[in-house]
Structure 1
Amino acid sequence: MVDRAFLYRAPTTVADADAIADWLEDRVEASVAVRDRFLDVHRDEELAERFAEARVTSPYDRATGNTMVGTVRYEERALEHPEREGGVLYDGRRVQRGLNGALPPEERGLETLHVAVLDRAIGTWGDHDGRWHKRVSVLGQPALVSVPGLYEAPAKPEEYYREKQRHSLLSGDTPPREVLENRVEGEFLVENDPRTTDALKGYALQAYDFLETGEPFCDREGCRLFDAHYHGDLIAAQLREPEFCSEHARRYDRA
């Protein structure tokens, strides 16, 4: 049984870890505390090389890793200056194993949950189609929650991608959020979206529920524990009422 949980800040993002922790503590039977960035609190000498080993080098190649000196140096700089990191996809499972190894031994047990909110893009390999897929979260110990993944992993409306490509061809840059929202039908989250914190609350609860029950997700659309693969489903699950299906409402609805 989980009796304590630590949520880690991602200071280069708009995610408010304190607000997420307050929401989570109101719904679970564990104490919840907030710590600074996981990659600062639990950094060791091997962390930069672990990230280098976890780099996805091709969307269609399961093998990962580039531990050449220049790549490791890049990862060292990214640890020191996270605002400069970007554009790299990492194997979420491999990152998770590396971060687990950085935890102090007395905090690795399943009675202690660690939720590392990250400013890195993470993915998992799809055996069904032979390619990498970006993910919002990777459940386990520690649980990884990717803020870039919240924006990039779930599929947006097709018109979004057409409009983004059209704007890029004409101007050479990415269109502002307001432009996409005005021109594209359907709801979706984009970088630095003000709804980020509210959307991530359910992913923190998914991490808790997984350690507590062993069940990865809820299969009912609209529940905070639903694993959404489309932005419309994500918004319905994380930003609309009711928060939970009837089963998970009995467990987590404290209203």
Structure 2
Amino acid sequence: MKTSKIIIYDEPTVPEIRIEKLEKFLKDIFHTDVEVRANFFEDADEKLFQEISTSRIFELKKPFSKHIPTESEIEMERENIDNSQNEEKILYDGFEFQKIISKFIPTNEQNQDTLHIVLTNKLTCTFDESDFRYHARSLIGTNPSIISTTGIIEAPAKPKEYYLELMTNFSKENTDKIKEKFKGEFLEYHDPRLSEIVKGYMLQSIIYYETGEAFCENKECRLYNAHWQKELLHSQLNKKFCSKHEKSFKKLISYS
């Protein structure tokens, strides 16, 4: 492994990720130095909030255009640190967001040997040229890697039947009943399964950084790029790699 140190930035508004378990998980697998730090936005410089505001998305069907934030939007960025569910559903261009985060990492830690993994409740998205619209993303790979806890909930789709029932029985009361009917079939905010799911995304971010290989097409593999919640739960809770990635993973850790 070219990575000799992994730094994880916590997202304390989502205690279900169990940051101490994630730290131990990575140490046990890679036998490398793993450090946990506070949330990236905690006690951040005013400049960071200002720049993050510029990455907001306002047009879902248009490529990114840098936003000039208002004072109230910058203030909202500060206030949203304690918002575990991103209740405003503010969208951010994932690649712009990643670029901004990288600028605020100390210069002496911007090297190939140190991989930064930033956990955040901010909803990162990328623009898809195939259908000319933005889509929510759970992971923005590279260094630093961004794992969106909100993206994990919102990006992979829930069962088709769930959406059909919502369309035909839409009301606050019925929505709660429908959620209860499909309970367990998709992740919810503060879901106890989040810690295991985040482990999988951390593995994806590390392997992508080490090998340049993005995701897997095999639904049985922990590196699978799930588009549905059912696929996400299956691929991550089974805790397995496909035969191809099992070999590459063993080769990777043998040099760690």
Contact residue 85 and residue 150 of structure 2 kept, 8 A: no
Residue of structure 1 in register with 2:13 after alignment: 12
Residue of structure 2 in register with 1:53 after alignment: 54
Instruction: Tell me how far 1:252 sits from its aligned partner.
Output: 4.0
Contact residue 220 and residue 245 of structure 1 kept, 8 A: yes
Residue of structure 2 in register with 1:28 after alignment: 30
**What whole-Å deviation, never above 9, does each CA across 1:108-138 have from its counterpart, x for those lacking one?**
1121011111111110011111100000110
CA distance in 1, matches of 2:54, 2:145: 19
The TM-score with structure 1 as length reference comes to 0.87
Residue of structure 2 in register with 1:210 after alignment: 208
The TM-score with structure 2 as length reference comes to 0.87
DSSP-derived class of the 1:27 partner: helix
DSSP-derived class of the 1:50 partner: helix
DSSP-derived class of the 1:12 partner: coil
Residue of structure 2 in register with 1:247 after alignment: 244
Contact residue 57 and residue 64 of structure 1 kept, 8 A: no
**What whole-Å deviation, never above 9, does each CA across 1:71-130 have from its counterpart, x for those lacking one?**
122223334x44585311111111111110000011111210111111111100111111
CA distance in 2, matches of 1:153, 1:142: 20
DSSP-derived class of the 2:46 partner: coil
Contact residue 54 and residue 95 of structure 1 kept, 8 A: yes
The match for 2:173 among 157, 171, 174 is 171
CA distance in 1, matches of 2:197, 2:7: 18
Aligned length: 247
One-letter code aligned to 1:131: R
Instruction: Tell me how far 1:176 sits from its aligned partner.
Output: 6.8
CA distance in 2, matches of 1:235, 1:10: 21
Q: 1:68 to 1:209 in 2, by over 3 A?
A: same
Residue of structure 1 in register with 2:196 after alignment: 198
The match for 2:186 among 185, 188, 209 is 188
The match for 1:78 among 77, 80, 83 is 80
Show structure 1 runs of 5+ residues with no match.
none
Contact residue 8 and residue 17 of structure 1 kept, 8 A: no
Q: 1:176 to 1:54 in 2, by over 3 A?
A: farther
Instruction: Tell me how far 1:140 sits from its aligned partner.
Output: 1.1
**What whole-Å deviation, never above 9, does each CA across 1:199-239 have from its counterpart, x for those lacking one?**
11010111111221121222322211111111122112101
Answering whether residue 225 of structure 2 is matched by residue 227 of structure 1, we say: yes
DSSP-derived class of the 1:39 partner: coil
Identity percentage of aligned residues: 30
- Aligned ranges 1:130-149 → 2 under 5 Å: 130-149=132-151
Q: 1:177 to 1:223 in 2, by over 3 A?
A: farther
Q: 1:6 to 1:202 in 2, by over 3 A?
A: same
**What whole-Å deviation, never above 9, does each CA across 1:121-159 have from its counterpart, x for those lacking one?**
110011111100000110011100011111110111111
Q: 1:127 to 1:16 in 2, by over 3 A?
A: same
**What whole-Å deviation, never above 9, does each CA across 1:177-198 have from its counterpart, x for those lacking one?**
861425xxx8321222111100
- What's the Cα RMSD here? 2.3
One-letter code aligned to 2:225: D
CA distance in 1, matches of 2:79, 2:30: 37
Contact residue 85 and residue 121 of structure 2 kept, 8 A: no
One-letter code aligned to 2:187: L
CA distance in 2, matches of 1:107, 1:214: 21
